[in-house]
Amino acid sequence: MDRLQAEIRAQGMTVFARLDHAAGAAEVGLTLPPTELIIFGNARGGTPLMQSVQTVGIDLPLKALVWEDTAGTTWLSYNEPSWIVQRHSVANAKQVVSKMAAAELSMTNETETTQIAGQLPTGPRAKDKEGSMTKTYD
């Protein structure tokens, strides 16, 4: 997660928060494998989308989930910006989405395998029907 945070900052984005879901589970006597959410973004990217359709704010800032499966493999899951724009029917967002997607791709460029959570790896850039990406993150 520290490496991802450094990569996010290297892309000129702000890290707003990190939430440790496993620690939260432990506080109430439950167990959860390592699962941490990072919330990040850049107002220059997100604000124009919210100016167009304010409900985009429910999906911004961007989020990524770093989690470990039962085999000990670490995964990175996030929603693609194009899916967020489609979900909220934002018009004329191609330029902003392209920049956001390029930044996300750059942040995750060290990964080689992608997987939809709970399924076998399906290729170098697999996405589920909802626009979420899940990748190994070694």
Statement: residue 125 has pLDDT above 60: no
Per-residue model confidence as pLDDT tens digits over 34-59: 999 999 999 998 999 999 999 999 99
Max CA pair span of the chain: 48
101: pLDDT confidence band, cut at 50, 70 and 90?
Answer: confident
Where do the domains of the chain lie? 2-136
CA distances from 92 to 45, 55, 132 (A): 13, 16, 22
> Would you give the DSSP letter of residue 58?
G
CA distances from 77 to 28, 51, 91, 119, 132 (A): 25, 27, 26, 13, 7
State pTM to two decimals: 0.78
> Would you give the DSSP letter of residue 47?
H
What are the beta bridge partners of residue 40?
15, 62
2-136 to CATH, choices 3.10.310.30, 3.30.310.70, 1.10.3720.10, 3.30.465.10:
3.30.310.70
Return d(Cα 94, Cα 54) in angstroms, integer.
17
Among 33-37, 82-86, 108-112, top mean pLDDT goes to 33-37
Mean pLDDT of the chain: 82
Return d(Cα 138, Cα 133) in angstroms, integer.
16
